Amino acid sequence: MFSNFDFGVIVRALPYLFYEGMTFTLMLTGLAALGGLVFGTAIALMRLSGYKTLGRIAGFYVDFMRSLPLVLVIFWFYFLVPYIGQWVTGASRPISVGAFASSLITFIMFEAAYFSEIMRAGIQSISRGQPAAANALGLTYAQTMRYVVLPQAFRNMLPVLITQTIVLFQDTSLVYVLSITDFLGAASKIAQRDGRLVEMYLFAAVVYFTISCIASFGVRRLQARIAIIR
């Protein structure tokens, strides 16, 4: 069963896997989570703004993104971004966008829909008295959001936001469909070059599993701490 299992393959591939692959995966996860959070908060504010049209546009965007498979969205943006770039820069032909930029845009736009639902729940979880008090103190809408509502919403939703980021971390493996060298992409390239599918895929599984497990363990502890403070 494990008779010709070769650990040497894994050891030799380690630098490539982590310097090339894991760096890409983690960079993509971090930047996409950050961008998704910013856009997601903006979308949540649009939905709760009280302007009907604005709310409807935001709601449509969220529902639309959430009913499509991520793989399809990755393909969409991969082919669409060069044309959007051409339109924005006024170039005469579709501009070429790097693999990283293309997948980053994809994940920000896709995750924004999911993060916005979390932030919306967070904002709605804050009692009415808070913005009312801010209003009474003479704070503007922007100040109310910036100093009163969003910090609390963010804090309440922190465990859920991190859980969503763990899901995002796992989902970045789907850039495989564009033959990009993320962690799984690197593992699969070595696997195919050396004909060592078993070793490389098992190792990739173990690495993803360990990182996600540690992260979700952290979330559970965080949740317990926040629950005590509140």
Partner 1 sequence: MNYHWNWGIFFDPNPMGTGTYLDMLLSGLVLTLKTAVLAWIIALVFGSIVGVMRTLPSKAASWFGFCWVEFFRNMPLLVQLFLWFFVLPELLPKSTGTWLKQLPNAPFWTAAIGIGFFMSARVAVQLQAGIGSLPRGQKMAATALGLTTVQGYRYVLLPMAFRIILPPLTSEFLNTIKNTAVAITIGLLELTGQARSMQEFSFQVFEAFTAATLLYLLVNAVVVTAMRFLERYVAIPGYITGK
**Sites of contact with partner 1 (CB under 8 A):** 1-2, 64, 67-72, 75-76, 79-80, 83, 86-87, 93-94, 170-171, 173-174, 176-177, 184, 188, 197-198, 201-202, 204-205, 208-209, 212-213, 216
CB of 200 to partner 1, least distance (A): 9
CB of 119 to partner 1, least distance (A): 18
**Straight-line distance from the first to the last Cα atom of the chain, in angstroms, rounded to the nearest whole number:** 52
Give the relative orientation of helices 23-47 and 150-171 as an angle to the nearest 10 degrees. Answer: 140
Eight-state DSSP code of residue 92: S
Which amino acid makes up residue 127? S
Q: Measure Cα distances from 206 to 142, 175, 202 in Å.
A: 45, 19, 6
Give the relative orientation of helices 23-47 and 52-66 as an angle to the nearest 10 degrees. Answer: 150
Token pair for 177? 């469909």
Whole-number Å distance between alpha carbons of 1 and 8: 17
Nearer to partner 1, 6 or 135 (CB): 6
CB of 143 to partner 1, least distance (A): 36
Nearer to partner 1, 146 or 193 (CB): 193
CB of 94 to partner 1, least distance (A): 8
Nearer to partner 1, 29 or 41 (CB): 29
Nearer to partner 1, 104 or 187 (CB): 187
CB of 89 to partner 1, least distance (A): 13
Nearer to partner 1, 42 or 198 (CB): 198
- Confirm if 58 and 43 have CB atoms less than 8 A apart: yes
- Residues in CB range of 168: below 8 A, 6 or more apart: 29, 32, 33, 36, 107, 111
Nearer to partner 1, 39 or 203 (CB): 203
CB of 134 to partner 1, least distance (A): 31
